[in-house]
Amino acid sequence: MATVLLPESPARRPAAGPTTMATVIAELARVLQEAATAAFPPARLARVDGWWLRHADTPDWWNASVLPHGPVPRHALADRITRAERFYPGPAAFQISPAATPGLDAALTERGYRRDGEISLQTAPVVAPPPRAFPVRLSNTPDDDWFATWSAMHSTPGAELDQRARLARIAHPTAYVSVLDDLGVIAVGRAVRTDGWTGVYGMATVPRARGRGTAHQVLAALSAWAGTPLFLQVELRNAPALLLYARTGFTERYRYHFRRQTPGT
């Protein structure tokens, strides 16, 4: 088991053991998933007895689903799920992490929800810079070149305006990093610092710069700015990203998935 769990004194950290470690990981998941929500605020958020109902116009991992933290009495779980479903104009989705309400995953399975989106959440105490360095530009707001690079790798037509609006809602310290060569911006990323952790998001590298250490340099620049441990979320099917993060010092702390409502459920 690796490195950073929660920013606390080692003397106060609970003794390792199956039950205790599960509790610690569940608390870590709660803290980091709520930090991720703060770093990419949904268009609409309702809180219902510990569950966060997040609505967005696009199907972002954490931005358009229920964040179901905290216990719910077994006899009340079905009603709580129904109330959450009514929040959404379309099919509901639930993010199932180690912090999720006990019994929820099984209850959603029984209601016909399908499993989707296998995600690895990883942390690193620090990312050291790579041997080769390109010029780096860091700002607390994204410029047009940052957006152009991010959009070229991630965006669908018309989505950039939505992305700009979402980023404008962030209320925590934020950094935007661009790595450049002689022809312009070749890699970008952003980070948001909240409560002793910094989340990394929006990583993108243009095709001609891949394999040149530019994504590593983005991570190192964000780490130097952060001054805290880093965390990020990556799909398990994204083998190149998993390799990059392993090489730059990230360790998987837990996995999570989604349960998505299917027609008729």
SS (H, E, C) 194-263: ECCEEEEEEEEECHHHCCCCHHHHHHHHHHHHHCCCEEEEEECCCHHHHHHHHHCCCEEEEEEEEEECCC
**Average model confidence (pLDDT) across the chain:** 88
Please state the rounded mean pLDDT for residues 191-207: 94
Indicate if the alpha-carbon torsion angle 216, 42, 39, 254 is positive or negative.
negative
Q: What are phi and psi of 260, to 5 degrees?
A: -115, 135
Statement: residue 231 has pLDDT above 70: yes
Rounded mean pLDDT, 104-132:
95
Q: Are 235 and 117 in contact (CB under 8 A)?
A: yes
Helix (H) or strand (E) holding 174: strand 174-181
Q: Evaluate whether 191 touches 199 at the Cβ level (below 8 Å).
A: yes
Give the Cα separation of 241 and 249 in Å (integer).
Answer: 13
Report residue 19's pLDDT band, with 50, 70 and 90 as the boundaries.
Answer: low
Encoded tokens for 211:
């394999």
- The answer on pLDDT for 25 being more than 70 is yes
- The structure tokens 């972002």 sit at 60
d(Cα 32, Cα 43) in Å, to the nearest integer?
20
For 235-254, the pLDDT digits (tens) are 999 999 999 999 999 999 99
Model confidence at 12: pLDDT above 50: no
Domain with CATH 3.40.630.30 in the chain: 126-228
- Tell me what pLDDT residue 158 has: 59
Mean pLDDT confidence for 77-103: 95
- What pLDDT score was predicted for residue 155? 61
Contact 256, 166 (CB under 8 A): no
In the chain the first and final C-alpha atoms are separated, in Å, by: 39
- How far, CA to CA in Å, does 54 sit from each of 31, 84, 199? 16, 10, 19
Residue 62 has pLDDT above 70, yes or no: no
CATH class of 126-228: alpha beta
Q: How many CB atoms lie within 10 A of CB 203?
A: 22
Residue-level pLDDT at 60 = 58
Residues 71 and 102: their CA atoms lie apart, in Å, by: 6
Query: Phi and psi of 22, rounded to 5°?
Result: -60, -40
Q: Of the given ranges (1-5, 183-187, 213-217), which has the lowest mean pLDDT?
A: 1-5
The residue that leads in pLDDT, 49 or 126, is 126
Which amino acid makes up residue 123?
T
On whether the CB atoms of residues 126 and 58 are closer than 8 A, the answer is no
17-31, 67-81, 112-126, 152-166: lowest mean pLDDT where? 152-166
The yes-or-no verdict on residue 36 having pLDDT over 50 is: yes
